[in-house]
Structure 1
Amino acid sequence: MAARRLLAAALGSCVPAGRAGPALSQGCFRRSFATSPRPRAKFYTDPVEMVKDISDGATIMVGGFGLCGIPENLIAALLRTGVKDLKVVSSNVGVEDFGLGLLMATKQIRRVVCSYVGENTLCESQYLAGELELELTPQGTLAERIRAGGAGVPAFYTPTGYGTLVQEGGTPIRYAPDGHLAIMSQPREVREFGEEHCLLERAIRADFALIKGWKADREGNVIFRKSARNFNAPMCKAADVTAVEVEEIVEVGTFPPEDIHVPSIYVDRVIKGPKYEKRIERLRFREQQAGEAKVGDKDIRTRIIKRAALEFEDGMFANLGIGIPLLASNFISPNMTVHLHSENGVLGLGPFPPRAEVDADLINAGKETVSVFPGGSFFGSDESFAMIRGGHLHLTMLGAMQVSQYGDLANWMIPGKKSNTPKIMDKCTMPLTGKRCVDRIITEKAVFDVHKKKGLTLVELWKGLTVDDIKKITGCAFAVCPNLRPMQQVTP
């Protein structure tokens, strides 16, 4: 968005408003807009009063990651206003009985733009019944589309999603009641930069952003607590009206200027939330973890985890996907330091906390309660994915449903039954998450290295198995390393 009034001055005579000058360096240029100055943030005591002008059909951004850092009181206020046909931009859709799930239950949402549906069966059922439009966007792309919207950048190119349905189009957005496809995603424009193919993504702006902060001062400056910054921070900047609910309102000067996360220029409305449940989606604590550690090598997940943990190196910055990859952090050697990165805005993840120290504002990407090591840091989701996209991590470990012989990855959860076909294939049959992005495949039976042009090479084999055993269960051909070795495991 351009400045409301643009003034430019230089030495020399000024040119009257409305008359063109020969050059900016030889005069003054003034551009006026038919808008009034932005007022200072307005403070409210009633959440309903704060959102009552959100009209039917409005586009709203709703902050949070899972249930961490969601604007509970503003969501409850929308339930009371009864506004309908909302288009909601959010990282996910909450659960059936909390967060955005409450607005879905009353059918006030028409369309959701998100990166993750999760375990919200209500969202799934409404989507498949043709009652809800669902636009799935890769999480990093969603964060950047929001950041771009707040920065006045109308569109940008990204390699994320190239060669997948994101680029090709055809992803179902809405089904008709009879089950036919009513709306599908459109193909993206593609350009090549160097040797990398990138697709064009458009920025997102909203009419309103509903944000959960920790504290605000009387000027409207906002700070967040721990991992509750997530999508809240970039969303503050990408809406015409930003409404922030906080746990505490303090006087100006209470926190130093250098500690402010979102300056008041981005904030229109502030309220101290009347109450907070701050529900925890996946409660995890250290005592629980100690009991689970007794699981032996007969558990195939444990076998994969213990092998995957050998990929860690001292000083490494690593991102772990949800599921099995997150569990590999339990087997990092105490003799090395690995800085674990979580896309919801945490660097320096530690183990599950003692039960007495569980904190609803500190979760990992799997929505589990965690701790942070000394020297760790918190940041917004847009910055988190800039770390990933910018190549600042040494390792990313993800779970997969299918991997092709050339490193294509499919790990989207899609409706329907799981396939019993091999997980390593000539070509993935499920929708791709990324094209030629996998460098190593670790299973409970073998380890493969991936060459993006030559294909797979078997480098490790589980004890008691033969190469022929692996050929029978692998859906593509592979080479065998001359130095094939037994599959390794971390030692306690």
Structure 2
Amino acid sequence: MPSIVLSLRTAGHLARNGSKPHTLLRTFASSARRSEINKVYSSAEEAVSDVKGDSTLLCGGFGLCGVPDTLINAVKNKPSIKGLTAVSNNAGIVGSGLGLLLESKQVKKMIASYVGENKVFEKMYLTGEIELELTPQGTLAERCRAGGAGIPAFFTPAAFGTIVQTGELPTIHNSDGSVAQYSTPRDVKVFDGKSYVMEEAIKGDYAFIKAWKADKLGNLMFRFAAQNFNGAMARNAKVTIVEAEHIVEVGEIDPASVHVPGIYVDRVIQATEPKNIEKIVNAKDPAEALNSLGSGDAASKRERIVRRAAKEFKNGMYANLGIGMPMMAPAFVDESVEVQLQSENGILGLGAYPQKGQEDPDLINAGKETVTLRPGASVFGSDESFAMIRAGRIHMTMLGAMQVSARGDLANFAMPGKIKGMGGAMDLVSNPEKTRVVVTMEHTDKKGGPKIMKMCEFPLTGKACVSRIITELAVFDVDFTTGLTLIEHAEGVTVEEIKSKTEAPFKVSESLQVMQQ
């Protein structure tokens, strides 16, 4: 009704100033149409009816959180849509998410940061059935954001000195597993004495987005960690198609709560698929938590590492933790120490695991595990999450490793014959001048071989980035120029034993002490 009143007022004004009747009608019709913008489609099938094969499809989601399953299923039911280049943080799992389009052979290429536990995808990649362009998670988020912002390329510190930068990542295999094609080397430029890698923006033909709320104008609101890649991708594509849990009236979403303005959105449909959780993890007291470290001698070693790692947290610190032992360390932090935990999928103020029955599919950490939020927490998209990471706003990142070199090089994402992806690790270690990198790991591998090496044998996650190494035997400080210094040893462990299990040479601190617990 307000728009009609406005139109009549406008028509009266024009008539008084001598406008002709047909001008009045056009003015009225134009004003009325403004109030009739409606981007809501009746079904997913209708919304994807003109999606073409051999297109670039951006697909929001992280793990199974914020994944547009309704739209993915609609494409799966249209086998004529094939030859897709799918861009997503990961490729879903077997039987869910983008995993469905991989199984139906509708995707010819994936651009992702993490393959994860999708064995179907891994097999297809290693036998030449699909092309894979692995890219660091923060770089992927920024490539999507840049593509939507009209920026053709940018420079990032992430991945300098790794096989991403040098172009040694296999992208296509032959059927016998041999490499048919490698990635493209990246240009490097030095700014203020530091090397940066040039990455090109990704431009999407279509974007499939999952929102919590949408109105018929296309304004979107996300819920908790379900924002992840959805916001950056929604702004990118030529055609953005959104499935929303709730389609609301215009005005129901507070203007200050609109995460994506409707100008970026072309179509909206009602989500019909249930939300899934990849890894349900519930709260445990410290004693129960330690049970997950295993049993016997192995559990004892890991407990020693975790308890020592807890001493690294300082009051007021912002920290990012990798999966496994680092995630357990906060349980042993003294109560007088308050730390804000960041999760790269878009959470600051990460809380404990939820009680049984209180799991929320929109609240997961970077390991896809169910979590809670602490009072005062904030949530945001993956592009903003990695902006704060690359800028050095995170004081410390603690993560595991396969190998660390004498000069602090880190290898923790790839082994020969296996593929998982680097996830966010390359970004997390890209600013060691501002973000302290602490590695927690067992001192030797399963065969008893050393993991602290003169030079890493596995592909690097980052060069000269690790500041401290904590194992069950020792704690080392790392100088990127002079090498390792042993500063602590476990009770009952001699320097000679540590030397016998460490390939890299090291100095012994004059103030060497027994490991803190």
**What's the TM-score once normalised by structure 1's chain length?**
0.89
1:449 & 1:268 partners in 2: Cα distance?
53
Counterpart position of 1:436: 464
Residue type at the aligned position of 2:326: P
1:292-303 → structure 2 map (5 Å cutoff): 292-293=289-290, 298=297, 299=299, 300-303=301-304
Residue type at the aligned position of 2:73: A
Counterpart position of 2:57: 60
Counterpart position of 2:501: 473
1:259 to 2:236 alignment:
no
Counterpart position of 1:201: 199
1:401 & 1:309 partners in 2: Cα distance?
21
Counterpart position of 1:46: 43
Q: Is the 8 A contact 1:40 1:268 kept in 2?
A: no
Q: Is the 8 A contact 2:39 2:217 kept in 1?
A: no
Counterpart position of 2:275: 278
Offset of 1:297 from its aligned partner? 9.0
Offset of 1:220 from its aligned partner? 1.1
Q: 1:235 is paired with a residue of what secondary structure?
A: helix
Q: Is the 8 A contact 2:56 2:205 kept in 1?
A: yes
Give the counterpart of 1:483 among 511, 514, 517.
Answer: 511
Give the counterpart of 2:70 among 37, 54, 73.
Answer: 73
1:152 to 2:150 alignment:
yes
Residue type at the aligned position of 1:291: E
2:284 & 2:332 partners in 1: Cα distance?
16
Rate the CA distance shift 1:40–1:435 in 2: closer, same or farther, 3 A: farther
Counterpart position of 1:170: 168
2:333 & 2:398 partners in 1: Cα distance?
14
1:413 & 1:368 partners in 2: Cα distance?
22
Counterpart position of 2:11: none
Counterpart position of 2:479: 451
CA displacement, residues 62-97 of structure 1 (integer Å, 9 cap, x when unaligned): 100000110010010011111111100000011111
Q: CA RMSD in A?
A: 1.8
Rate the CA distance shift 1:467–1:43 in 2: closer, same or farther, 3 A: same
2:206 & 2:380 partners in 1: Cα distance?
22
1:334 & 1:370 partners in 2: Cα distance?
20
Aligned residues: 451
1:219-258 → structure 2 map (5 Å cutoff): 219-258=217-256
Q: Is the 8 A contact 1:41 1:268 kept in 2?
A: no
Offset of 1:415 from its aligned partner? 4.7
1:323 & 1:195 partners in 2: Cα distance?
35
Residue type at the aligned position of 2:281: R
Counterpart position of 1:31: none
2:91 & 2:75 partners in 1: Cα distance?
15
Residue type at the aligned position of 1:331: F
Offset of 1:452 from its aligned partner? 0.5
Q: What is the aligned-residue identity percentage?
A: 53
Q: Is the 8 A contact 1:41 1:264 kept in 2?
A: no
1:301 & 1:77 partners in 2: Cα distance?
46
Rate the CA distance shift 1:312–1:297 in 2: closer, same or farther, 3 A: farther
Q: Is the 8 A contact 2:90 2:113 kept in 1?
A: yes
Q: 2:415 is paired with a residue of what secondary structure?
A: coil
Offset of 1:290 from its aligned partner? 6.1
Residue type at the aligned position of 1:332: V
Q: Is the 8 A contact 2:216 2:268 kept in 1?
A: no
Q: Is the 8 A contact 2:289 2:328 kept in 1?
A: no
Q: Is the 8 A contact 2:37 2:216 kept in 1?
A: no
Q: 1:48 is paired with a residue of what secondary structure?
A: helix
1:253 & 1:313 partners in 2: Cα distance?
44
Offset of 1:289 from its aligned partner? 7.0
1:297 & 1:376 partners in 2: Cα distance?
38
Offset of 1:329 from its aligned partner? 2.3
CA displacement, residues 90-110 of structure 1 (integer Å, 9 cap, x when unaligned): 000111111111111111111
2:57 & 2:131 partners in 1: Cα distance?
15
Q: Is the 8 A contact 1:344 1:380 kept in 2?
A: yes
Offset of 1:255 from its aligned partner? 2.1
Q: 1:355 is paired with a residue of what secondary structure?
A: coil
1:461 to 2:489 alignment:
yes
Unaligned runs of 5+ in 2: 1-33, 419-444
Offset of 1:397 from its aligned partner? 0.7
Offset of 1:288 from its aligned partner? 8.1
Counterpart position of 2:316: 315
Unaligned runs of 5+ in 1: 1-36
1:358-437 → structure 2 map (5 Å cutoff): 358-416=359-417, 420=447, 421-437=449-465
Residue type at the aligned position of 2:391: G
Offset of 1:419 from its aligned partner? 8.0
CA displacement, residues 175-213 of structure 1 (integer Å, 9 cap, x when unaligned): 122333222101111111111011110011110000000
**What's the TM-score once normalised by structure 2's chain length?**
0.85
Residue type at the aligned position of 1:367: K
Rate the CA distance shift 1:329–1:297 in 2: closer, same or farther, 3 A: farther
1:41 & 1:406 partners in 2: Cα distance?
59
